[in-house]
């Protein structure tokens, strides 16, 4: 399944908003480096973090077991389902659309996400 990604650091640097409906169109127009913006192919049973690494991406992680927030992303379109995780609140999952990529598999035909979301102000104190 195709997963289009964008680096949170780039969103921040450009002064873009994570909830901007045109965010990925802006990324297209900006001709960003493939480390900041691109598309991955992720198998239905494959963890998003593993797929990103297999394609040579250097995304943040720490525990690889749903126990920290280092690998967190904001899902802006589509769905990622997680195995058991102990780090995100119901509000962060249901309302802020945060997901952990080390325990997250694709659950929709296409997905757009912002990786590197550990730099969100709300998560800063919980990053390992
Ligand atoms: Fe710790 Fe994913 S790396 S939750």
Distance (Å) from CA 29 to ligand 1 centroid: 31
User: In angstroms, how far is the first alpha carbon of the chain from the final one?
Assistant: 30
Burial class, 117, CB count within 10 angstroms (exposed 0-12 / middle 13-18 / buried 19+): buried
Q: Which atom of ligand 1 is nearest to the CA of 103?
A: 2
Q: Is the pLDDT of residue 124 over 90?
A: no
Binned at pLDDT 50, 70 and 90, residue 17 comes out as very high
State what percent of residues in the chain have pLDDT above 90.
97
Binned at pLDDT 50, 70 and 90, residue 128 comes out as confident
CA distance 26 to 57: 21
Q: Is the pLDDT of residue 107 over 90?
A: yes
**Which of 69, 93, 98 maximizes ligand 1 atoms within 8 Å of its Cβ, making it the mutation to test the pocket?**
69
Q: What is the mean pLDDT of residues 64-73?
A: 97
What pLDDT score does 119 carry? 95
C-alpha 102 chain-centroid distance: 10
Topology, domain 2-126: Ubiquitin-like (UB roll) (3.10.20)
The residue behind tokens 């494959």 is 46
Q: So where are the chain's domains?
A: 2-126
Q: Is the pLDDT of residue 121 over 90?
A: yes
The neighbour count for residue 73, using CB atoms within 10 Å, is 28
């Amino acid at each position: 399944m195709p997963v289009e990604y964008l680096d949170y650091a780039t969103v921040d640097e450009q002064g873009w908003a994570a909830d901007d409906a045109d965010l990925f169109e802006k990324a297209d127009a900006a001709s960003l480096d493939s480390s900041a913006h691109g598309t991955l192919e992720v198998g239905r049973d494959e963890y998003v973090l593993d797929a990103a690494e297999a394609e040579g991406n250097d995304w943040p992680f720490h525990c690889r077991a749903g126990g920290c927030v280092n690998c967190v992303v904001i899902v802006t379109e589509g769905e990622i389902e997680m195995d058991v995780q102990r780090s995100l609140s119901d509000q962060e999952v249901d309302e802020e659309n945060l997901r952990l990529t080390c325990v997250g598999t694709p659950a929709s035909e296409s997905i757009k996400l912002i990786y590197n979301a550990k730099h969100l102000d709300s998560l800063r104190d919980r990053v390992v």
